[in-house]
């Protein structure tokens, strides 16, 4: 049999094999040519940042290489889920092209007719299970919202979603095992294997045929989307091994992060996991700042104390006013304060607007930092929305973030902090934090020298920060080689941009991990295909 005839008889697997070998070649080239480069910038020292990469090393642990593809995909997906728009557009385009080619007899699917019904049954199962999960989650959130308002959503949304997704995923996993057992065991058969999708009791009119086909396409598309979203959530909420930040620190120098989130608000890993996360990174302490509550901080403190860990947890909260699009972190007050948007019928916790919240926290001896500030021109004068830099400093804030994750904020914010005082005649602090939500590698921290290293109280921390002699470090984990147009990013295609930049910044060990996992998956698919081919030939 000639090679071309063999390829023609096994067209699908031949195309897949060609793609696999091309993928491996690309990985080999990247592994040879690439050198993982991580850039550390000090945004306080200069704008847009002094390169201080010579002072830090980003080191990947050995176990990371064993599961690198899963880690890489998790970090690429992130938690914005905008890729769903791109997926829907691509999926609909693919199905239209496929159906047109099939109608024109350009595609022959006789070989796969025997699995058409089992596949549809599985996708229907996925559709029903996840749809039921979505409905239950929506009902719980609606009841909570009607009872406690937005306050309930900001506190409990992620926990409810993660529980629902994990239950649904477990059920789907058992269904996969059930189907795999039937497929691998010749004695077991799919029940009603050849039952048609169309009901024999109904008139096979053109309208009915179209409705059945539309239902089938809807089930396939939505079920696929459910599976991808479920995988996305599971990946970003799994505590994968992260990079370790190594640097030479004096006895009075420490690495801290002052802006983080856990499952107690819109974060995707638990407070306990977040503590371990920082210990793996080489960070000495962190302020847990969940939206509208301090539960994450208290749970983290409890975990540190119970396990006698050498790690400092400060209590903080992100006061969240989504109605006016301004967020502020406060520290040093173990009390929950929310914006008017999150006011509850009982009046607990205390709901205050921006200026009143700042006054209240300062009266209690606490500290307030403005997060990821919008520096656009203010209609009333100056810069910053919804309140200008001058307004916020007159109200008594202690500083502004000049770094939020890998985003270096506008130079005007940094310059204002370095040249102005708040209403208490205190220097404004150039602040920074990771604003981390998922399990991704840490991308920002503050290096701080303490006048009294044994005193890590929040008061001493802010006393030393007030001098603005610390370092506000942002980490560029992947060089931005590929840059898609904004229009494509708005449609969710930036996931391909992130994936491209990730691949262009992996080292040889990461590339090798991708090759090994890709080869294993390819081998499994080939084995399944051969077994399936034998079964269909026999039948």
DSSP string, 107-121: ---GGGGGGHHHHHH
Contact 292, 265 (CB under 8 A): yes
Within 8 A by CB and 6+ apart from 278, the residues are 257, 285, 286, 311, 442
Q: What's the token pair of residue 180?
A: 């795999």
Q: What's the token pair of residue 1?
A: 């049999």
Rounded to whole angstroms, what are the CA distances from 41 to 66, 369, 491? 29, 21, 30
Give strand pairing partners of 401.
431
Closest of 409, 326, 332 to residue 370, by C-alpha: 326
Rounded to whole angstroms, what are the CA distances from 395 to 248, 338, 343, 536? 39, 17, 22, 75
Closest of 71, 42, 36, 47 to residue 412, by C-alpha: 47
The burial class, CB within 10 Å (0-12 / 13-18 / 19+), for 251 is exposed
Number of H helices, E strands in the chain: 17, 18
DSSP letter at 176 equals H
CA–CA gap between residue 129 and residue 126 (Å, rounded): 5
Q: What's the token pair of residue 298?
A: 């208290």
Contact 441, 477 (CB under 8 A): yes
Contact 154, 265 (CB under 8 A): yes
Closest of 306, 300, 296, 259 to residue 276, by C-alpha: 300
Q: What is the pLDDT of residue 7?
A: 52
H helix or E strand, kind and range, residue 58: strand 56-59
Q: What is the pLDDT of residue 186?
A: 60
H helix or E strand, kind and range, residue 375: strand 374-377
Cα angle 287, 292, 296 (rounded to 5 degrees) comes to 45
Task: Determine the 3-state secondary structure of 139 from DSSP.
Answer: helix
Q: What distance separates the 2 farthest-apart alpha carbons in the chain?
A: 88
Closest of 49, 27, 90 to residue 495, by C-alpha: 90
Q: What is the pLDDT of residue 196?
A: 47
**Is-above-0.75 flag for pTM?**
yes
Q: What is the pLDDT of residue 109?
A: 58
Q: What's the token pair of residue 531?
A: 């077994």
Taking the alpha carbons at both ends of the chain, their separation in whole angstroms is 23
Per-residue pLDDT tens digits of the chain, which is 539 residues long = 455 555 555 667 788 889 999 999 999 999 998 888 899 999 999 999 999 999 999 999 999 999 999 999 999 998 889 999 999 999 999 888 888 877 777 666 555 666 677 788 899 999 999 999 999 999 999 999 999 988 999 889 999 999 999 999 999 999 999 888 877 776 556 555 444 444 455 455 777 777 877 888 899 999 999 999 999 999 999 999 999 999 999 999 999 999 999 999 999 999 999 999 999 999 999 999 999 999 999 999 999 999 999 999 999 999 999 999 999 999 999 999 999 999 999 889 999 999 999 999 999 999 999 999 999 998 888 889 999 999 999 999 999 999 999 999 999 999 999 999 999 999 999 999 999 999 999 999 999 999 999 999 999 999 999 999 999 999 999 877 888 888 888 899 999 999 999 999 999 999 999 999 999 999 988 887 777 767 666 55
H helix or E strand, kind and range, residue 413: helix 411-419
String of b and e for 453-482 (b: at least 16 CB within 10 Å)? Answer: eeebebeebbebbbebebbbbbbbbbeeee
CA–CA gap between residue 320 and residue 211 (Å, rounded): 46
Q: What is the pLDDT of residue 538?
A: 58
Q: What is the pLDDT of residue 194?
A: 45
């Amino acid at each position: 049999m000639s090679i071309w005839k063999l390829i023609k008889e096994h067209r699908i697997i031949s195309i897949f094999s060609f793609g696999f070998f091309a993928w491996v070649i690309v990985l080999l080239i990247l592994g040879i040519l690439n050198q993982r480069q991580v850039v550390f910038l000090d945004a306080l020292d200069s704008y847009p940042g002094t390169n201080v990469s010579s002072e830090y090393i980003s080191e990947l642990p050995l176990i990371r290489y064993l599961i690198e593809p899963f880690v890489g995909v998790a970090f690429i997906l992130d938690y914005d889920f905008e890729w769903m728009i791109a997926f829907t557009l691509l999926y609909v385009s693919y199905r239209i092209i496929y159906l047109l080619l099939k109608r024109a007899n350009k595609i022959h699917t006789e070989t796969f007719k025997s699995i058409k019904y089992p596949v549809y049954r599985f996708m229907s199962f996925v559709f029903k299970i996840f749809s039921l999960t979505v409905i239950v989650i929506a009902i719980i959130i609606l009841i909570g919202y009607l009872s406690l308002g937005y306050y309930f959503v900001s506190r409990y949304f992620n926990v409810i979603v993660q529980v629902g997704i994990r239950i649904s995923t477990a059920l789907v996993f058992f269904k996969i095992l059930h189907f795999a057992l039937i497929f691998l065991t010749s004695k077991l058969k799919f029940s009603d294997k050849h039952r048609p999708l169309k009901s024999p009791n109904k008139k096979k009119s053109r309208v009915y045929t179209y409705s059945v086909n539309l239902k089938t396409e809807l089930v396939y598309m939505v079920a696929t989307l459910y599976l991808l979203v479920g995988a996305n959530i599971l990946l970003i909420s799994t505590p994968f091994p992260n990079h370790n930040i190594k640097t030479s620190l004096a006895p009075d120098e420490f690495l801290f992060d002052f802006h983080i989130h856990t499952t107690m608000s819109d974060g995707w890993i638990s407070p306990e996991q977040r503590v371990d996360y920082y210990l793996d990174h080489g960070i000495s302490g962190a302020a847990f700042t969940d939206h509208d509550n301090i539960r994450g901080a208290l749970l983290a403190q409890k975990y540190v104390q119970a396990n006698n860990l050498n790690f400092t947890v400060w209590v903080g909260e992100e006061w969240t006013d989504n109605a006016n699009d301004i967020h502020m972190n406060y520290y040093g007050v173990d009390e929950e304060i929310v914006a008017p948007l999150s006011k509850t019928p009982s009046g607990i916790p205390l709901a205050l607007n921006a200026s009143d919240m700042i006054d209240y926290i300062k009266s209690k001896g606490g500290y307030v930092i403005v997060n990821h500030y919008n520096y656009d021109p203010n209609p009333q004068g100056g810069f910053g929305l919804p309140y200008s830099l001058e307004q916020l400093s007159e109200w008594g804030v202690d500083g502004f973030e000049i770094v939020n994750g890998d985003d270096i904020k506008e130079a005007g914010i940094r310059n204002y902090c370095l040249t102005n005082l708040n209403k208490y005649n205190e220097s404004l602090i150039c602040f920074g934090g990771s604003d981390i939500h998922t399990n991704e590698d840490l991308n920002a921290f503050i290096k701080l020298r303490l006048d009294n290293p044994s005193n890590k109280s929040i008061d001493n921390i802010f006393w030393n920060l007030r001098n603005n002699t610390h370092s506000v470090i942002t980490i560029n984990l992947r060089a931005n080689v590929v840059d898609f147009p904004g229009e494509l990013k708005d449609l969710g295609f930036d996931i391909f941009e992130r994936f491209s930049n990730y691949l262009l910044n992996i080292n040889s060990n990461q590339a090798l991990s991708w090759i090994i996992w890709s080869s294993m998956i390819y081998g499994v698919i080939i084995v399944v295909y051969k077994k399936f081919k034998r079964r269909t030939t026999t039948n």
